[in-house]
Amino acid sequence: MNGAIYKCIKILRDRLNDADMYLGPVATPGDIAALTNAVSIELSANLPYEYLEFLQMFDGLVACGVFIYSSRSRVMPGGDILSRSFVEMNHLSRDMDFMKDFLVFADSDQDEYVLDLKQGKYQVRDRQAFDNVNEEFDSFDGILAFMVDLIGQRS
């Protein structure tokens, strides 16, 4: 994850209170190992290094209707979900057969943020009309910057 994105996330963290933004703790080496193994075995894919870097700084982010998935689900003591697990959310997505060609990293009220495995492109796709590609990026950092900018606009 590049330094500019990190700085933007920290600025958002300073601006938004805990009720408006959840920023996960650092993912442990065990969390990362379990995630990469599960993705390899269960989803037959590899995670991009930039996403793993993000998780090693912030294991999940939820703000302004944007949910960036974490290495594992994080739940409050009362049972409320703080962040959604990458593997769990991708299993749910793959209930639809065509989604096997995608990894889903995040979602919002309007979009899903995916890697098209066939094209090797990170895409912002419409939740309702998934064939509609609204934005496209060559790297995970590109789509992460897009999501962080969206949070900044909404906050």
What is the β-pairing status of strands 81-83 and 121-126? Answer: unpaired
What is each CA distance from 84 to 4, 60, 147, in whole angstroms?
A: 25, 8, 16
Delimit the domains of the chain by residue range.
Answer: 3-96+139-154
| Neighbour count for residue 16 (Cβ, 10 Å) | 17
Render pLDDT for 123-140 as a digit per residue (tens, 0 to 9). Answer: 999 999 999 999 999 999
User: Nearest Cα to 88, choosing from 67, 57, 111, 109?
Assistant: 67
Looking at the whole model, is its pTM more than 0.85? yes
Residue 146 pLDDT grade (very low, low, confident, very high; cuts 50, 70, 90) = very high
Task: Say how far apart CA 130 and CA 75 lie, in whole Å.
Answer: 29
